[in-house]
């Protein structure tokens, strides 16, 4: 489990094909690795991966074919910058929202424009995910917890403040950039709990299922 608050940027050192899968070597000079051991989970651009080798400040991860096909990790190259976050520890601040590190789909950047000191981005939404994305709700883009400013049937917009822009790979996004998307877990659980609801989600419905008091 993660929070979507990027701790540091890393850089791809090597990409080795292994029987259809890939091993990624990621340099993590900016990330504190003092408490990282083999088997730990680290989110790379929002994808939860397992540490399989440690060599100084470089960690290695095996990436399955499934993950390569369902995320943007298959597009990485040597030297690519990546967002990094260690798994949430008990007692840590929860500054973003609950993030599983399991990518729901890929989006495309279709707009980048200045908005005062921020930058507004618009991303496409794969069919079937739009119902989980709501204005002022949470969305995870390449592992970064963001607030949705505007949402339509097949796209959503976010505003990125200067700090977030500089501390994440979002600064590299251009028209056509592909990004990993993970929708809000609460939206998914609500849908699962209410498969037969015909009248929409009301206060009484939320009360019945324990979401409000």
DSSP per residue, 155-212: EEEEEE-HHHHHHSGGGG--TT-EEEEEE-HHHHHHHHH-TT-SS---HHHHHHTTS-
Q: Mean pLDDT across the stretch 95-116?
A: 93
Q: For residues 183 and 178, give the distance between their C-alpha atoms in angstroms, rounded to a whole number.
A: 16
Q: Which residues in the chain belong to E strands, given as ranges? A: 8-18, 21-27, 41-44, 47-55, 58-63, 81-86, 105-115, 118-124, 138-141, 144-147, 150-151, 155-160, 178-183
Query: Given this model, what pLDDT does residue 212 score?
Result: 57
* 22-31, 183-192, 193-202: least confident range: 193-202
180, 186, 135, 182: which is closest to 158 by C-alpha?
A: 135
Would residue 210 count as lying in a domain?
A: no
- In this predicted structure, what is the pLDDT of residue 195? 59
CA dist., res. 175 & res. 111, Å (int): 6
Residue predicted with more confidence, 38 or 198: 38
Q: pLDDT of 137-184, one tens digit each?
A: 999 999 999 999 999 989 999 999 999 999 999 999 999 999 999 998
Containing structural domain, residue 113: 105-190
Instruction: Kindly state whether residue 99 falls inside one of the protein's structural domains.
Output: no
Residue 1 lies in a domain: no
Residue-wise pLDDT for 10-22, tens only, equals 999 999 998 889 9
CATH number at residue 148: 2.40.30.20
- pLDDT above 80: residue 211: no
């Amino acid at each position: 489990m993660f929070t979507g608050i990027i701790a540091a940027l890393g850089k791809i050192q090597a990409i080795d094909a292994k029987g259809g899968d890939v091993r990624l070597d990621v340099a993590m000079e900016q990330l504190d690795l003092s408490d990282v051991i083999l088997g730990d989970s680290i989110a790379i651009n929002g994808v939860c991966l397992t540490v399989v080798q440690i060599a100084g400040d470089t960690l290695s991860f095996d990436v399955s074919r499934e993950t390569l096909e369902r995320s943007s990790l298959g597009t990485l190259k040597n030297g690519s910058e990546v967002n990094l976050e260690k798994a949430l520890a008990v007692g840590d601040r929860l500054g973003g929202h609950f993030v599983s590190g399991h990518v729901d789909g890929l989006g495309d950047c279709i707009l980048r424009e200045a908005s005062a000191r921020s930058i507004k981005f618009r991303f496409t939404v794969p069919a079937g995910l739009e119902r989980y994305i709501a204005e002022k709700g949470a969305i995870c883009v390449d592992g970064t917890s963001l607030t949705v400013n505007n949402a339509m049937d097949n796209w959503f917009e976010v505003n990125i403040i200067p700090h977030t822009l500089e501390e994440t790979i979002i600064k590299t996004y251009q028209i056509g950039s592909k990004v990993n998307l993970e929708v809000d877990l609460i939206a998914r659980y609500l849908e699962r709990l209410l498969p037969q609801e015909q009248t929409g989600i009301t206060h009484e419905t939320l009360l019945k299922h324990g979401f409000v008091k």
